[in-house]
Amino acid sequence: MENGPRGRAESRLTTGADRPITVYTVAFVAKLLDEDEEMLEAIVYNDDNLSYGAIISVHTGAEEAITVLTDDGIGELRDMLADARRSTQHWRDFLKDFVSDPDIIARVNEKGPQ
């Protein structure tokens, strides 16, 4: 895997149809979606939060790995966040369900549900 501009990782991973896919670091996705990076990290920490294959762990060393998202993962994450922002109450419930760190929740709430 080669690192591309701004955290975009070019990959030779293939889907069942043997077509190459591109994966993106959480930092890149945070900038792309204008979201808090630590909030996104908290959401994708549990790979059950998105569809199978949307979140991928890439091992960068013997005991090191990074989490990356596929195009489908970015779309699912975008839809999940849009749904959560239907109302202030939905947004608060969403953060409570997906983000356990009170500092991240406070920081994201300062910015508002957008």
Start-to-end CA distance of the chain, whole Å, equals 34
The whole-model pTM stands at: 0.78
- Taking residues 102-110, report their average pLDDT: 90
Distance between CA 56 and CA 69 in Å, rounded? 6
- Taking residues 26-54, report their average pLDDT: 93
Q: The domain containing residue 80 runs over which residues?
A: 2-111
Question: Is the pLDDT assigned to residue 104 strictly greater than 50?
Answer: yes
**According to the model, what pLDDT value does residue 24 have?**
96
Q: What is the mean pLDDT of the chain?
A: 85
Report the SS3 class of residue 13.
strand
Give me the sign of the Cα torsion angle 74, 77, 83, 89.
negative
Residue 78 CB neighbours (<10 A): 14
Contacts of 39 (CB under 8 A, 6+ apart): 95, 99, 104, 108
| Domains identified in the chain, total number | 1
